[in-house]
Amino acid sequence: MTEQHALFDPLLQDLSDRSRDEVLAAFSAVQYAAHPVAEVQLAGLRDVTLRRQVQRMLKLIGRTLVHVDGTHWTAGYDDDIASSLVAQGWQPLSVIDRAVLVLVLVHSVAIPRSEGILTGDSWKSARPTTVDELRTTRISGEERRLALQRLRAAGLIQLSGDHSGGPSYIPGPQLQRLTPAARRRLQDQLILAAAPASPIAEAIRARTGGPVEGEDA
Amino acid sequence: MSSQPSEAVERRVYNALWWAKVQSAGPLEIDPDTPAVAGLTRAASADGSTVWLVPTLPSGAGHSVLEELDSPPVAVEQPNETARVLAICVACCWTDRSAPAWPGSTGTLAQVRSVYAGMRGRPEQSSDLTLIIGSLRRLHATHWIRWDEKAGEVRLGPRVITWTAADLSTLRDLCRHLPEPPPAVLSTEPPAASPPDEALPDDALPDDAVSDDALPDEALSDDALPDDALADAALQDGPSDELRGEVSDD
């Protein structure tokens, strides 16, 4: 017995039982699996028509399909919805959590990328950020510990396999949910914050049309 | 032309924005006057003063699919301990088992500790409280329960409103397997034999001691272990295996 669902039923009711099951399985997989799922694993992702239905379902809840490495799929926030929420001032992460996350992203991704060790625009990285690199006089040890705990629980960071020098962190699987536009925004923000006077920061300001000088990041 | 198409678009955007908020922050406390959002159900607290928006999914969608795919969701730290404490909270807060679990009633830390010790079949040990508080905090952060650390009181969280009749019948069985909680002695009631405050003296339990990262970073804290190692460690302690069997035995 299938209960009514006010949001999804109008989309699902025209599908055969089998298609419905495949669409719902693919929807659940991209929404709730910690990591992107392989396209070959699910008919709802392999079949272009079914995948379009998955995308429609996601669109209804402000999400969109994100293609990862050409072979996997996950779901992230739709760019228009994300920018509306930002415009409303919506921010579920506290300022300390964001600061700690940014430190991990700087050490694990931005620095290796600037050194040419990491290529591409992904926020996946195996370069661990050590606890020493997270130390800052602006955040107390206790605040940092609690922030790390919350960020880990949210899948935004994860423990790196390498703990020879004490615990260290790498970006978590949730970062793979960023759309291409969101990945670029994040990169731009980090450059603006880290090197606001650089020519590349100037180029970003020219492109985005903002006079923003190292805003919050 | 008519205003209808744009109304439909507006409604779609309205729904999508609320869904995105609930997805990014978990069940949301809202102004009771907020217009309905398709697919998000409302969970009102027992006295009706607070209303949360909680997402619902069509049957056939959700986490159950992940098991078949062998593609797990984001890992919960200390999964067995956390699940055990959630089961205990259900037993303590869902007192009228003929009614839905939501909103249930208020339970106390003293009750949780007592059922926990009974579940392990031995007197309470000093490390139990650390594990219990860590789990209560984790469950509170994910809205499965509402844990008032000052009062030492716990209620079920708005998420449980989505439990189906089948879920409730499984949970009813599970509660029957757990030791009976002692009567709740709430902080709003006249003090009795074991006031809940006694359970949590601030100096005896600094935040450090009960967080997952109990030790300084330099030492070998949970931080130093990957989640898998934690899960394995939890799986290896004897009594919990039996309990897991009991808990999942429907």
Task: Note down the domain range covering B232.
Answer: 79-248
Across the interface, do B207 and A142 touch by the CB < 8 Å criterion?
Answer: yes
The answer to whether the peptide bond before residue B201 is cis (omega within 30 degrees of 0) is no
Whether B236 and B146 share a structural domain: yes
Domain A95-177: give its CATH code.
1.10.10
In a domain, B67, yes or no: no
Whether B90 and B209 share a structural domain: yes
Across the interface, do B21 and A90 touch by the CB < 8 Å criterion?
Answer: yes
Distance CA B31, CA A195 (A): 42
Task: Give the model confidence (pLDDT) of A112-134 as tens digits.
Answer: 888 888 888 888 888 999 989 99
Phi then psi dihedrals of residue B186, to 5 deg: -85, 155
The pLDDT score that the predictor gives to residue B4 is 67
Task: Give the model confidence (pLDDT) of A158-214 as tens digits.
Answer: 999 877 778 899 999 999 999 999 999 998 988 888 788 888 889 999 988 765 444
In a domain, B61, yes or no: no
Across the interface, do A166 and B224 touch by the CB < 8 Å criterion?
Answer: yes
In a domain, B65, yes or no: no
Task: Give the model confidence (pLDDT) of B110-129 as tens digits.
Answer: 999 999 999 999 999 989 99
As a whole-number percent, the residues of chain B with pLDDT over 90 amount to 61
Point out the residue among A6, A149, A155 whose CB comes nearest to the CB of B38. Answer: A6
Q: Which fold has domain A9-84?
A: Arc Repressor Mutant, subunit A (1.10.10)
The pLDDT score that the predictor gives to residue B189 is 55
Which position has the higher pLDDT, B212 or A43? A43
User: Of the residues B56, B71, B93, which one is the last residue of a structural domain?
Assistant: B56
Across the interface, do A149 and B13 touch by the CB < 8 Å criterion?
Answer: no
The pLDDT score that the predictor gives to residue B55 is 95
Quote the number of domains for chain B: 2
Whether B13 and B126 share a structural domain: no
Whether B23 and B143 share a structural domain: no
Whether B18 and B120 share a structural domain: no
Q: Where are the domains of chain A?
A: 9-84, 95-177
Mutation to test the B interface, candidates A7, A74, A162, most B Cβ within 10 Å: A7
Question: pLDDT confidence of B243, banded at 50, 70, 90?
Answer: very low
Task: Give the model confidence (pLDDT) of B143-174 as tens digits.
Answer: 999 999 999 999 999 999 999 999 999 999 99
Chain A residues near residue B216 by CB distance under 8 angstroms: 141
Whether B106 and B183 share a structural domain: yes
In a domain, B64, yes or no: no
Count of other CB atoms within 10 angstroms of residue B107: 26
Whether B107 and B172 share a structural domain: yes
Whether B39 and B92 share a structural domain: no
So what's the ipTM on this one? 0.90
The percent of chain B in helix, strand and coil, each rounded to the nearest 5, is 50, 10, 40
The pLDDT score that the predictor gives to residue B179 is 94
Whether B191 and B240 share a structural domain: yes
The pLDDT score that the predictor gives to residue B148 is 96
At how many degrees (to 10) do helices B109-120 and B79-93 cross? 120
Whether B114 and B213 share a structural domain: yes
For A89-110, give one letter per residue: b (16+ CB within 10 A) or e: eeeebeebbbbbbbbbbbbbbb
Least confident of A18-22, B52-56, B117-121, B206-210: B206-210
The pLDDT score that the predictor gives to residue A36 is 96
CB contacts < 8 A, A to B, total: 149
Across the interface, do B77 and A32 touch by the CB < 8 Å criterion?
Answer: no
In a domain, B71, yes or no: no
In a domain, B85, yes or no: yes
Whether B85 and B173 share a structural domain: yes
Across the interface, do A159 and B223 touch by the CB < 8 Å criterion?
Answer: yes
Question: Do A95-177 and A9-84 fall under one CATH topology?
Answer: yes
Chain B residues near residue A33 by CB distance under 8 angstroms: 66, 69, 71-73
Whether B116 and B166 share a structural domain: yes
